[in-house]
Amino acid sequence: MDSNRLSGPLADPAGEAGYPSDHPDRVGFFTDTSVCIGCKACEVACKEWNLLPEDGLDLTGMSYDNTGALGATTWRHVAFVEQHGSTGSTVDLGMPGMGEDQVRWLMSSDVCKHCTHAACLDVCPTGALIRTEYGTVLVQDDVCNGCGYCVPACPYGVIDIRPDTGGAAKCTMCQDRLGAGLMPACATACPTESIQYGPLDELRDRAGQRVAELHDQGITEARLYGHDPADGVGGDGAFFLLLDEPEVYGLPPDPVVTTRDLPSMWRHAAGAALTAAAVIVGCFVGGKR
Amino acid sequence: MKRGDRLMVPEAEFRSYYGRPVLKRPVWKVPDVPAYLYLGGLAGASSTMALCADLTGRRRLARSGRLAAAVGATASVGALIHDLGRPARFLNMLRVLKPTSPLSVGSWILAPFSALSGAGAASEITGRLPALGRAAATTAGVIAPAMTTYTAVLLADTAVPGWHAAYRELPFLFAGSAVSSAGAVGMLAAPAESGPARRMAVAGAALEFAAGRSMHQRTGLVGEVYRQGRAGAAWRAARVLTGLGAGAALFAGRSRPAVIVSGLCLTAGAVATRYAIFEAGRASVSDPRYTVVPQRDRLDARR
Ligand code: SF4
Ligand code: SF4
């Protein structure tokens, strides 16, 4: 196993997965949360286009977030973070006053990260999860056997099993739209261009400029998340501009594709198996009946 | 943690999104998956025990080992199929061999192992084709040790903090537990030849204890999940049962009641160990602390 197949920077995931060199550019999402207004147009557009069932009116009882997390039928999830006290820059949203208490709203539309080294894809035993020609990660519904291995493997807690079909499901980056030359439904619907879609390299450049711009405006807490090809998953196909630490938005601070440690895991397993064999043989040698 | 009780989380120590889990909880079911883990280990160690017994002329022990291997492997496949929902889905596992997927590799260990050990046991029971049966059982006995540890990799190769953090020790813990489970079966089924089985019970338990100890010492904050709640209770019960079982195996000699108590304690202990590990993983996912804090520490250390 070439170590680059399991972790580390990888310039061309689609090419590495065997697509000929004339495959399309790797595409992705850049979600700029600094302009997100929490309208949930993306969540709705995603459900409409992908024919996903509604999640019910099960209010979570925390902030204005009714869906709570990404799931098998929520492929875009808008997190609403309500922060009290002076935690960085606030923007006057024209909301009714709430006394002296400073309130800051952070909103962020989360999605499958389409990881460069996708743990879900690595561990899938059936080959149901594949890398597409666009460098994204896709579940083939007809191949998935619902074993659920991808679910705990994902370091971002994205993919899940749909109770109605028994199969794994997550964002497809609207594979069917990409083939027709369209943008994913969420990016099309977003009124503030918080969700930007395009070739990943371009998005990374644009994101770098946007952070610099915000820093110049004194918003020093602006930072990118998931953009670095040298991170634990080889960089995300969907990355973010955040205004606070990732964990505040429900994102893991330093996710790692655990397959990175697979050679070491198998070495330990082999060592343990040999130990078991040696112990058993030893119990038969030289003892009484 | 209940929904929305964010204030319970000490803000200075770690932050999260309203205390909600970062990771998805494994969808695998109880008792299917803990049973699958226990039975696979039992089958593997029993098969190697049968091979050694055969080579050293212990017929009764060889026979018991072959039967335990076949029953354990078949039931292990059964538990996996029950978790998947349909037999065809197990066959679907064999449509590709994917080295990056421990479940794929494991299915390719489990399928031939259960076929071979089934053939060995069938020949043992019917007395037909003894040479072929012996060849099948021998081959099974040689690949069997892999059966005792691949499931540890299966759990460890996930983002589940409680499992991944323990990836070095889990295979040894599973191997030890499997050896003592097989020893327990050997003691119960072949009393007249139970010397090696009793030694397996004790040595396996010792290996399991040592691996568990080093796992506790090395896993730091995440290791808490093996000490608290349901997982902690099951873990402590497993220690007590395995300890009692191994002690009885050591001192009981051939006293029949003591052997029975020992065998049952070891078996219950091995089942409890698997359940504790499974549950500890689920607990480590449910509380975002175990995902966020170690990652944050790692990140801060790099900065
Ligand atoms: S975020 Fe999770 S589900 Fe999405 S590609 Fe990465 S590992 Fe797979
Ligand atoms: S649930 Fe489906 S997609 Fe996920 S690992 Fe299993 S077969 Fe692959």
Each residue's pLDDT, cut to its tens digit, for chain B (303 residues) gives 344 444 444 444 789 999 999 999 999 999 999 999 999 999 999 999 999 999 999 999 999 999 999 999 999 999 999 999 888 888 889 999 999 999 999 999 999 999 999 999 999 999 999 999 999 999 999 999 999 999 999 999 999 999 999 999 999 999 999 999 999 999 999 999 989 999 999 999 999 999 999 999 999 999 999 999 999 999 999 999 999 999 999 987 778 999 999 999 999 999 999 999 999 999 999 999 999 999 999 999 988
**Residue located nearest, by CA, to atom 4 of ligand 2:** A150
The mean pLDDT of A34-39, rounded to a whole number, is: 95
- Predicted confidence (pLDDT) at residue A148 exceeds the cutoff of 70: yes
Phi, then psi, of B91 in degrees rounded to 5: -65, -35
Q: Looking at the partner chain, which of A148, A154, A253 has a beta carbon nearest the beta carbon of B292?
A: A253
Comparing alpha-carbon positions, the chain A residue that sits nearest to B28 is A148
CA gap A274, A187 in Å, rounded: 53
Whole-number Å distance, alpha carbon A139 to ligand 1 midpoint, is 11
Mean predicted confidence (pLDDT) in A107-127: 97
Distance CA A92, CA A80 (A): 16
Q: Which residues on A lie below 8 Å from B156 (Cβ)? A: 258, 261, 265
In this prediction the pTM is 0.93
Query: What residue spans of B94-157 are helical by DSSP H?
Result: 102-126, 130-156
Look at residue A62 in the predicted model and tell me its pLDDT. 73
Q: Which residues of B touch A284 (CB under 8 A)?
A: 52-53, 55-56, 196
Closest chain A residue to the Cα of B173, Cα to Cα = A272
Burial of A58 (0-12, 13-18, 19+ CB in 10 A): exposed
- Give CA–CA dist B303/B294, Å, rounded: 14
Angle of helix B59-84 relative to helix B130-156, nearest 10 degrees, comes to 50
* pLDDT over 50 at A241, yes or no: yes
- Give the long-range contacts of residues B213-220, CB within 8 A, separation 24 or more: B214/B169, B215/B166, B215/B169, B215/B170, B215/B173, B218/B165, B218/B166, B218/B168, B218/B169, B219/B162, B219/B165, B219/B166, B220/B165, B220/B294
Q: Quickly state the pLDDT bin for A231 (edges 50, 70, 90).
A: very high
Query: pLDDT confidence of A101, banded at 50, 70, 90?
Result: low
Residue A95 has pLDDT above 80, yes or no: no
SS3 B247: helix
Task: Supply the pLDDT for residue B23.
Answer: 97
Q: Does A277 touch chain B (CB under 8 A)?
A: yes
β-pairing, A27-32 vs A238-242, is parallel
Cα separation of B203 and B197, whole Å? 10
pLDDT at position A89: 56
Tokens representing B76? 């292990």
Query: CA-CA distance, A30 to A282, in Å (whole number)?
Result: 59
pLDDT of residue A98: 53
The yes-or-no verdict on residue A93 having pLDDT over 80 is no
Number of cross-chain residue pairs from A and B with Cβ atoms under 8 Å apart = 244
- B59, B163 in Cβ contact below 8 A? no
Does the distance separating the beta carbons of A249 and B196 come in below 8 Å?
no
The tens digit of pLDDT for each residue in A44-75 reads: 999 999 999 987 766 677 777 878 899 999 99
Question: Pick from A236, A175, A160: which is nearest to A200 by CA?
Answer: A236
**E strands along chain A, which residues?**
27-32, 76-84, 103-111, 129-131, 137-139, 160-161, 168-169, 195-199, 223-225, 238-242
pLDDT for residue B11: 42
pLDDT digits (tens, 9 = 90+) for A67-91: 889 999 999 999 999 888 755 555 5
Provide the pLDDT for residue A90: 54
Q: Which residues of A touch B150 (CB under 8 A)?
A: 269
A150 vs B: CB within 8 A: no
| Nearest atom of ligand 2 to the alpha carbon of A120 | 5
- Condensed to tens digits (0 to 9), the pLDDT of residues B43-70 reads 999 999 999 999 999 999 999 999 999 9
Give ∠ CA B84-B97-B68 in degrees, rounded to 5.
60
Q: How far apart are CA B222 and CA B216, in angstroms?
A: 9
Q: Find out whether B99 and B62 touch, Cβ atoms under 8 Å.
A: no
Res A289 pLDDT > 70: no
Closest atom of ligand 2 to A145 CA is 7
Return the number of other C-beta atoms located less than 10 Å from residue A272's C-beta.
29
pLDDT average, residue stretch A278-284: 97
pLDDT at residue number A88 = 57
CA angle B97, B275, A170 (to 5 degrees): 50
